[in-house]
Copies of this chain bind each other. A is one copy, B any other.
Amino acid sequence: MTPTLREVAQLAGVSIKTVSNVINGYPHIRPATRERVESAIAELGYTPNLTARNLRAGRSGAITLALPDMGLAYFAELAAQVIETAESAGLIVQLEHTGGVRERELELLRSPRRQSSDGLIFSPLGMSQDDAGALNVPYPLVLLGERIFDGPTDHITMRNHDAARAATEHLLESGRRRIAIIGAHEGEVIGSAGLRFAGYRAALEGAGIAVDPALVGYTGLWHRANGAETMRALVETGVDFDAAFCLNDTLALGAMRALEELGRSVPDDVAVIGFDNLDEAQYSIPSLTTVEPGRGWIADTAVKALNARIDGSVSREERSRTLFAPYRIVERESTLAGRST
């Protein structure tokens, strides 16, 4: 089908290895020979077979990015960043979905498909700390997110606790006192929900306010519908509140929608802050104040860290590192001066 070195060699009247040498820039080749080879390559339209090269080299030139679901805006934007960074490092990105399901995640780590790429950037969602052992894999692995800590691999994450605290403090500073939280997970300690909840609690306690269980909205999934539903339920309990910290933007957008439907004004009646700084957050009505989680930095750093393990510039023995992305609060309309001003 496609031509191989053998055919190019035959046409140019040289050995197969000489063609290989020309292609790989080996210096000691007579100009005349080089020229003959090059024109043979051009004539046949030869391109090297990467599979063979990879087999020879023991490398594939590809990395795998495993995410819960590309349909979720946060992951889509993360993937876009990873692809850009990998592209400029000459790497191909293979994408896998886990659906956030523990079994699929464990399966993914063991799958023979891992052999077809040189390393994995993995954002677990279903696995928990107990599964950390499964991360002990024979290939380079970089972990994202906050499901698992102290694993045996490099880990890129953000300071969820601090960022959530800052987000809550932002609401407190604008005079809000009755701050609901949307998206909590019952009993979770680590994981985005657990850490962000702890940051929320810390901010409140720092301001001398106790966490009111009536203001804690639990919801397993973080989709728009869940945000809307949880907010609706909260309003229907009749409890008083003047702000909501939503554990991600998607929840926040759903919650804002529910508030609007129920006749509560954002930010006048209820200030809303999200988390993730999705592209969408700046175009919602009202635009959404949120936490920018350093997604670009995360993608860059993850690809670089993985690459360092792949090319051996950081060896397998070297201790795993945990790197924290810088965050910042992006202030928009949904938390503008409220009731108390």
Residues of A at under 8 Å CB distance from B? 1-2, 45, 47-52, 54-55, 58, 60-62, 69-71, 73, 76-77, 79-80, 83-84, 87, 92-97, 110, 112-116, 138, 224-225, 228, 253-254, 256-257, 260-261, 279-280, 283-285
B62–A71 touching, CB < 8 Å: no
Contact (Cβ within 8 A) B47 A115 = yes
Copies in the complex: 2
Given A79-B95, A116-B62, are A256 and B285 also a contact pair (CB < 8 Å)?
yes
Which single member of B94, B224, B254 contacts A62 (CB below 8 Å)? B94
Chain B residue numbers with a CB within 8 Å of A48 are: 112, 115
Q: Which residues of B contact A2 (CB under 8 A)?
A: 115, 138
The 6 closest A-B pairs by CB, nearest first: A76-B76, A70-B80, A224-B283, A71-B80, A50-B116, A47-B112
Contact A257 B228, CB 8 Å, known A79-B95, A138-B1:
no
Give the CA-CA distance A116 to B52 in the complex, in Å.
10
CB distance from A244 to the nearest CB of B (A): 16
B84/A77 in contact, CB under 8 A? no
CB-CB < 8 A to A54: which residues of B?
51, 116
Nearest opposing residue in chain B for A257, CB measure: B285
Offer 24 A-B interface pairs, CB within 8 angstroms, sorted by A: A2-B115, A2-B138, A45-B138, A47-B112, A47-B114, A47-B115, A50-B112, A50-B113, A50-B116, A51-B60, A51-B116, A52-B55, A61-B116, A76-B76, A80-B97, A83-B96, A84-B97, A94-B95, A224-B283, A228-B283, A254-B283, A257-B283, A257-B284, A257-B285
